[in-house]
Amino acid sequence: MTIRVLLADDQALLRETFRILVDSRPDMEVVAEAADGAEAVALTRAHHPDIVVMDIRMPGTDGLTATATICADPALSGTRVLILTTFETEEHVARALHAGASGFLGKDVGAEGLVAGIRTVVAGDALLSQQATRNLIARFLTAPQPGIHPAARKNLADLTEREREVMAMAAEGLTNADIAGQLYLSPLTVRTHIHHAMAKLHARDRAQLVVIAYQTGLVQPNPPRP
């Protein structure tokens, strides 16, 4: 299957560099390019790419607003957003996750890192390290966000005990391999539980599952260290 990519960045030179990189991979192709957030939304609706590689700071509609619009559109449920930006602050990462982004990379990432990031996000996995997940949770993700996942708390009761257990461990930043080792399961079984939880909670991907776990109280954050 060919991964269809939309590039959104206000710098034409960067877009061209990313296009060459992506198009050089046999399993990827760039289907459109946008110079601002509004154009990114319009082109996403026109092309339905598998993933949008989105800059944050663009003229007019910024990348976070565009991300929220794309992720809130039921017609675009098959499109994921990977934030790629120079401004790699924890607040930006948290806002991106709240907006519905599936991953976050700095523009200093290498070519192979970007390609791997695209594949990770398209596969439905969150692109955040364990430490980044914990830091974000402690500082931002537990803050109430009106309008996000209104049915999630009710739907949490639909999860099996094992699905809640696996979801909680994922929310702590553990990988599928980590969870499998602790619960004596295969990584494939863990992945299946994660996907079942995502389906029942209407989460687009693992990143949203982490947000839901904390906002519904399934997992309580540890107090931040002084």
The domain spanning residue 190 has which CATH number? 1.10.10.10
Confidence of residue 224 (pLDDT cuts 50, 70, 90): very low
Report yes or no on 142 lying in a domain: no
In terms of domains, do 67 and 162 share one?
Answer: no
| Per-residue pLDDT reduced to its tens digit, 143-198 | 555 444 555 666 788 899 999 999 999 888 788 888 999 999 998 999 999 999 98
pTM of the model: 0.72
CA separation (Å) from 45 to 6, 66, 136, 200? 11, 12, 30, 26
pLDDT at 23: 94
In terms of domains, do 31 and 120 share one?
Answer: yes
- Which residues are CB-contacts of 195 (< 8 A; sequence separation ≥ 6)? 124
**DSSP-assigned beta bridge partners for residue 82:** 53, 103
- Look-up: residue for tokens 């499998």? 180
Question: What's the distance, Cα to Cα, between the start and end of the chain in Å?
Answer: 48
Report yes or no on 143 lying in a domain: no
In terms of domains, do 35 and 84 share one?
Answer: yes
CATH at residue 41: 3.40.50.2300
Residue 52 in this model has a pLDDT that exceeds 80: yes
Report yes or no on 34 lying in a domain: yes
Q: Output the average pLDDT for the chain.
A: 83
Q: Range of 156's domain?
A: 151-215
Tokens of 33: 């390019």
Report yes or no on 9 lying in a domain: yes
Residue 132 in this model has a pLDDT that exceeds 60: no
Domain count, the chain: 2
In terms of domains, do 34 and 69 share one?
Answer: yes
In terms of domains, do 104 and 33 share one?
Answer: yes
Q: Give a three-class secondary structure readout of 24-69.
A: CCCCEEEEEEECCHHHHHHHHHHHCCCEEEECCCCCCCCHHHHHHH
Report yes or no on 206 lying in a domain: yes
In terms of domains, do 106 and 62 share one?
Answer: yes
